Amino acid sequence: MTPDLQVWRIIQRFALLVFYCALGGENWNNAYFQITEGDEYDWFQGVDPCNRFEEFQIISLEGKGLKGTLPPELSMLSTLWEVFLSDNQIFGYIPSDYSKFTDLDTLSLASNLLQGSVPEFVWR
């Protein structure tokens, strides 16, 4: 890690690494997401998930073998506006920390193993 890495970039990398570990990233189809020593915005293959400031705006991992619970740390990515995680094996609840997603427009979690009701903040 370079010494001049900004704090928000460190937080972004941390949130993505926790997300990866919590949802069994070592078993995903690595053609779509691969952690390298390079910048975190290069970890996703295909569509660029970041805005022009290199802040994550999109996570799209539908049907990629994610298995586990949604980590509350994902809410640290406050610039997210689209999250597509349908058709996986995500279980548990939607973390209340996700209410911090102030720019979130799309949250797609269909065809998973989630429990409980949809939290009120999702409808904002």
Residue entry with tokens 């704090």 = 7
Query: Which of 17-21, 50-54, 75-79 is predicted with the least confidence, judged by mean pLDDT?
Result: 50-54
pLDDT at 13: 85
- Domain range enclosing 56: 7-123
**Is 1 part of a structural domain of the chain?**
no
Q: What is the CATH classification number for the domain harbouring 59?
A: 3.80.10.10
Domain count, the chain: 1
Q: How confident is the model at residue 42 (pLDDT cuts 50, 70, 90)?
A: low
**Is 95 part of a structural domain of the chain?**
yes
**Is 82 part of a structural domain of the chain?**
yes
pLDDT at 39: 61
- For 58-115, write each residue's pLDDT tens digit: 888 888 889 999 999 999 988 888 899 999 999 999 999 998 888 888 999 999 999 9
Query: Which of 8-17, 34-43, 95-104 is predicted with the least confidence, judged by mean pLDDT?
Result: 34-43
- For the whole prediction, is pTM greater than 0.85? no
> Is 27:65 a contact under the CB 8 Å cutoff?
yes
